[in-house]
Amino acid sequence: MESPYTPQTAEDAISHLERILSADGADSLFNRTYWRARVQQVSATRGLTPQQRARLVRLLESLPSPVRGEEPS
């Protein structure tokens, strides 16, 4: 997976994902598969700090598994 982010812009993306997903965003406008793909996309950014990587791992772990048959948005 290719990332459109730099380590600096990834920080904003991680913060955004943390805000959305902490507010039950994974079950709102977009489906779980979408949010999992977004976190994985940011995770593919080269040059992330260990702290950024740890935050992304926590986000992935917090996402429920996709529902069977759920298609990406």
Q: Report domain extents, the chain.
A: 7-62
pTM, 2 dp? 0.80
Q: Is the pLDDT of residue 73 over 50?
A: no
Nearest residue to 40 via CA among 61, 56, 21: 56
Give 25-65 pLDDT, tens digit per residue: 656 666 788 889 999 999 999 999 999 999 999 999 988 77
Q: How far is the C-alpha of 28 from the C-alpha of 17, rounded, in Å?
A: 13
